[in-house]
Structure 1
Amino acid sequence: MQLSSTCACKSHAQLDFQLLICHLPVLYGISAVCDGGQTRSQPMEGKAISVGVLCIQGAFIEHIHKLTEISKQNEIPITVTEVRRPDQLSSLDGLIIPGGESTTLSVFLKKNDFEECLKSWICNEQHPGVVWGTCAGLILLADELTGQKKGGQVTIGGLKVQCSRNTFGRQMDSFESTIKLKHPPLYEATPPTPPSYIQPLNEDECHGVFIRAPGILKINDPSVTVLATQGENVVAVQQDHIIATTFHPELTNDTRWHMYFVNQIAQRKERKGQ
């Protein structure tokens, strides 16, 4: 199928600091149209799952690629919204908060009235929403944060863990590693072939990319489930509808994390009767 898109590159320089964001995701050969910051995989049958990706900084376009890829491969109707305004949250079934610079994200959220809207969306028990924070997204979701910059930063909270910024070191200490999956639904599918410099993966392993990664120092409530570890380090957790990873699954060729996220949304919608 030929790629069809009405997307074009636009400048969003008015959002308190200059942003130049391209609206033309690579859609892996699937026909799509973009309208108002939404990517809709077509044609699909059934009710679509509406997923938002917070598009402020970080690898948000890679998350969009992964969602589009699993939509095509699994024939799941997924509508992806590039979220840059608080009023875009209300219609979402799920939200991804990508990595980036956590202090910069905090400044944006505070100045653009996002902070309280995000907290309300995440805490709304009547809504089937699932939120997934990767890297800096984990920092924003953690209830307890150590190693804050002077003056502190915005934390949305909700996830009962203690988190530390730059646990694995600074940018130059970024690394890639094999991760052990601890939650069976994550390794139901066969893992993809990793890069040549990573050892072949067992079914309960995945390839992890750690970039100035935060750490999960302590789990503060039994409701938090460990999803994955790297050596002795907890690197992925879930508490009900909140998922967090210290690493970047979107920067690998593995779609299992995004598939798990979408399945969590579908199951929650079903339980809520929506």
Structure 2
Amino acid sequence: MSLVAERSGLLEPLREFVKVYRKPVWGTCAGMILLAEEANRTKKGGQELIGGLDVRVKRNHFGSQTESFSTPLSLPFLGDPTPFYGYFIRAPIVEHILPPTTPASSLENNTADTVTAPSKKPINDVAASFTSPDEVRILGRLTPSKLTTTEEDAKLGITSPSEGRIVAVEQGNCFGTSFHPELGSDIRIHKWWLEKVVEKVETKRRLEAES
């Protein structure tokens, strides 16, 4: 995705859309990787990032295409206890929530293949109000199970839902999911996101009118 965006001249416009104008944007799977400020296990030669979410993601956490799976998820932000089935296809996970004052190079697990998104300032105070460095919200974790737990997870002792790998996050104008909601028939996340977009647009208009 990043290669296509770069070759087609869309990479910088997308960065401006997300980080300068702070428009609402949702990235799923590879899209969440693009929205991350940092990414590990990048392909040979690295990967361009857009940024917007103060997280570090790990690409292909569960392995290759043959390790793809679907599993029920508990997503309290939907306001409905009914499990939501997520489809994980060569999926990433959120490895770290990045502290705003900590240099990336000082964090554990920083490796030679870690890439970082370029920084960009919001166009004005209204755009800046849509996010702050310390408000990444964890919206979903993957419940550890035989299906979803990798050898690395087992070594780290990840055994309870509260310790499960992070697979959904929100910060300001950005929303990211490791899984593909569009592959199932459950539209609750899409409904929730559309409502958030409307809310953000209305808030932006109000703030602009007041400024």
Cα separation, 2, equivalents of 1:178 and 1:230: 9
CA distance in 1, matches of 2:86, 2:76: 14
Alignment of 1:63-212 (within 5 A): 105-125=1-21, 129-183=23-77, 186-188=78-80, 202-203=81-82, 205-212=83-90
For CA contacts below 8 A with separation 6 or more, give which structure has more relative contact order.
2
The structural deviation recorded for 1:187 is: 2.6
What letter matches 2:79 in structure 1? Y
- What's the C-alpha RMSD, in Å, of the aligned pairs? 1.4
Q: Distance in 2 between matches of 1:155 and 1:273?
A: 29
Contact 1:187–1:256 (CA<8 Å) still a contact in 2? Answer: no
Q: Which amino acid letter does the alignment assign opposite residue 161 of structure 1?
A: V
**Correspondence 1:217 to 2:92:** no
Point out the structure with the larger helix share: 2
Q: Secondary structure of 2:12's partner?
A: helix
What CA distance in whole angstroms lies between the structure 2 residues aligned with 1:134 and 1:261?
A: 12
User: 1:272 maps to what in 2?
Assistant: 204
- Segments of structure 2 that go 5 or more residues without pairing to the other structure are 100-133, 144-163, 207-211
> Which has more strand, going by share of residues?
1
Aligned residues: 152
Unpaired stretches in structure 1, ≥5 consecutive residues: 1-104, 189-201
TM-score by length of 2: 0.69
Identity of paired residues, percent? Answer: 38
Do 1:209 and 1:247's aligned partners in 2 also have CA atoms closer than 8 Å? Answer: yes
Q: CA deviation at 1:229?
A: 1.2
C-alpha distance in 2, partners of 1:252/1:144? Answer: 29
SS in 2 for 1:137: helix
CA distance in 2, matches of 1:187, 1:253: 18
1:87-125 CA-partner distances (Å, limit 9, x unpaired): xxxxxxxxxxxxxxxxxx122111111010000011234
CA drift at 1:182: 3.4
